[in-house]
Chains A and B, each alone.
Chain A
Amino acid sequence: MGSMFRSEEVALVQLFLPTSAAYTCVSQLGELGLVEFRDLNASVSAFQRRFVGDVRRCEELEKTFTFLQEEVWRAGLALHPPEGRLLAPPPRDLLRIQEETDRLARELRDVRGNQQSLRAQLHQLQLHSAVLGRGHRLPLAATPTDGLLERTPLLQPPGGPHQDLRVNFVAGAVEPAKAAALERLLWRACRGFLIASFRETEQPLEDPVTGEPATWMTFLISYWGEQIGQKIRKITDCFHCHVFPFVEQEDGRLGTLQQLQQQSQELQEVLGETERFLSQVLGRVQRLLPPWRVQIHKMKAVYLVLNQCSVSATHKCLIAEGWCAASDLPALQQVLQDSSSEAGVSAVVHRIPCRDMPPTLIRTNRFTASFQGIVDAYGVGRYQEVNPAPYTIITFPFLFAVMFGDVGHGLLMFLFALAMVLAENRPAVKTAQNEIWRTFFGGRYLLLLMGLFSVYTGFIYNECFSRATTIFPSGWSVAAMATQSGWSDAFLAEHPLLTLDPAVSGVFLGPYPFGIDPVWSLAVNHLSFLNSFKMKMSVILGVTHMTFGVVLGVFNHVHFGQWHRLLLETLPELTFLLGLFGYLVFLVVYKWLFIAAAAPAPSILIHFINMFLFSRSPTNPLLFPGQEVVQSALVVVALAAVPVLLLGTPLFLRWQHRRRSPRPAGRQLDEDKSGILDSSDASVAGWGSDEEKAGCPGDQEEAEFVLSEVLMHQAIHTIEFCLGCISNTASYLRLWALSLAHAQLSEVLWAMVMREGLRMGRELGVAAVVLVPIFAAFAVLTVAILLVMEGLSAFLHALRLHWVEFQNKFYLGSGYKLSPFTFAEEED
């Protein structure tokens, strides 16, 4: 948990990897995920790097893998992810894997090719028989054509020269989509010197390539003349038709048909054999491919990292640079030693000083991960900046619960989250792919706390599904009021509303021990009482939250050694915030504690407005003696803090700059020396400096000091803070609004659904029957509207309060995450 407070120390390290052991070292580092490598060859293009050949070979292999995978998928088989941990294979294994893969791919291609050609043959045969089969039914189907053909020779003898004129046939099959175009083209090109008949095949045939069933159009063209025949053949060629010899005699056709059927039977047997062999090969692929894929993927990743290393002058080792957490350095050293022990020369790691801002590393566990996630979604913290996440663990669920206060709803949410937490180790829950479910599951601990806190605030508000509970006896006694005031029957009949007077002895026995007195749920001024309470509560919570934010800034200033900001920024900020809004909180609390219920109540609002106007209203009694003097003093002090905030830091920096500038060379030397001697100190001091904030990161000393830039920046900050104090305080009123909305909505749901149902049946049987659907409706609406919808909106507002109102007081969030080189996520 110590590391949650601010990000861990991250060091720039240089790794000297002996050439022979570099591969094993990097692959070991990939398994552990310790180092984020920096690209030392950014100026070198991808194909001029050292290991480009190996990367290319891996890619080559992956190409083959893709081919194998597609084949497996095409056969309708699935590839299962490999079990267990697979290390990146040693480089010499690449050859073996490559060979085996190539052999498998070749076999598969051969078998697939055989299968394809067999299928194509079969398809051809089937089409042929479809064409012929259709043809021999032609005499029945198309008698007129047939009749004409038979009659032609009878008519011809008179015209002797035409004796040799005979009808020729072209028969074939074409894809149905092209049939119409083919028919038209035939007609146009041959000017009608032909008769063509088209018909669809009865059974769909399997397409040899895709394997999908498709119907074909068979056609039979009869024509006269050789030239036309040539044209027809060219046209059928261009439409990719299958053309088959067509025997004119019917018995000849029958014979061919039988022959075809026999052939196709034989072919089918061969095809079956081929497919069996194919499935064997595919089975082998299925078994071998997944582990190979993972291995080669890792190998490629390792080579890509090696490509980022530079080569030492002697070519004996590779030099890599990267970010590594300081606490991981011993582990890193150990890994490097272990994995380079074979090579004889040990790999070495050492820290080097650097001026760049290191990446942010905050280790989380499954509990803190979701809270850190909330903070990171706003912005990853700068290196070693105070991390708001640990406080968010409590404040976030609490602010949520303030808006969601209801014992019943909170309990439901808590139980739901508890179920997820208890089931978190079940594989089915873990691997669920549903995105909405994963969102909920990821935030299960957040939900757990949110539910728990809602139960707490529900008790404070005394609401359980909008009903009040009487755990303790109420502090108000109606009986006492009735006996003391002597209400007559007539008085009671005339006045539907009666007032309980706390001044009457015995009516108000003292405050309710915990939360809101249940008697309020019966009162008609319930809402105005709660409004006043919740509004004040929101302001108190808001001012406290923001003050806490400002105080957290102190830790940043102290850590980065910017003591002047402590005095010139944090102090005026606190003065401004507490002098104005802290005083408001004081007034609220004072009024609660010391103004008796019976006395005329002073209005805090009027007092607060008068405070700024330096005036007083005679009708509004003072809360305490000397209030006006205190108020005036506070306003003056708070306003005096503004110029300090505005000008303090820029003027201080200018003074500091002036003091330094006469001897820049000497300082430069100092700086360098200290950088080498104690890199961590020098680097830490660097990142918080204001010059960087003013827009010149990196070379902080050399950067010329531009007063206007710093002034501008500080002016923006000042305006943002002062206006922010007002608007952010107002913004916290959303706590009041949302909790009110939630209470009212659940009240309405109870009154309109449940109460109606309970009122409906007086007899036991009717009530039981009616209440089933009524309760179902109540339950569904409660979950859908009150839990999910209201929960989401309360979540959203709590998120906003944290991101905008809280974090802008101290959190910059301009860093970037440490993303170490690791195989973990590449595996899936």
Chain B
Amino acid sequence: MARDGGVSCLRSSETMRVGIGGMESPPLDLDDVHVLAVDDSLVDRIVIERLLRITSCKVTAVDSGWRALEFLGLDNEKASAELDRLKVDLIITDYCMPGMTGYELLKKIKESSSFRQVPVVIMSSENVLTRIDRCLEEGAEDFLLKPVKLADVKRLRSSLTRDVKLSNANKRKLPEDSVPVNTSLPPPPSPFTISPDSSDSSPPSTISPESSDSSPPLSPVEIFSSPLSSLLDDEDDDVLPSSPESSPAPEESPVRRQKMGSPGLD
């Protein structure tokens, strides 16, 4: 994979340059997984970006919920023609951020017609049951405890590949080639598009974690950075870790079920 399929276009990640470059139209490489990462902490942003890139994701990293909405074209009400080309397969966001929390961002994404199907993963350093429940209830795909580890991201990545391949298989209308998986939803009618607006997209399927070979990350990453606005922290309790139990969200989420240890669908 030597192409840049992501929307980002700033140059090398060695120089942590700041700035908004022009958006180039990405060639639609349907097998690429494009992740939007949101974290106000520079260090965490760099780390999550590397974690994702080393697991073969294209990454766009932004430093706030507002930037994320801006990137997604959700910051104004009018739909953008660019959205048809904007392929975001996963949004991973920090919970505690000034201005807009990850939870608020999650809600906005789930309220949008264009992106509500995109899985949203929340990261937090605080293992607070009520917080986890709230996020999962709002439709978060998963909740990762910080500091995030490579194993966490690999797990996410492998379940995402399955999703993308599933929707691609459907798009190409090759049922024989599609990954055999039991879903609780009826198969989508053809033609099936990967437009996020489709209400027929197959749900993510559960797979067991596999170690993916790290391929050299290739796409440049664009890092939006802005001075921190007023630092309002949501919750600040440092509680002792307890095993999180979450009730299943209304939407099927095999990734979460997998996290809970139930057998994978395969």
Asked whether A and B interact, the reply is no
**Residues of B in contact with A (beta carbons under 8 Å apart):** none
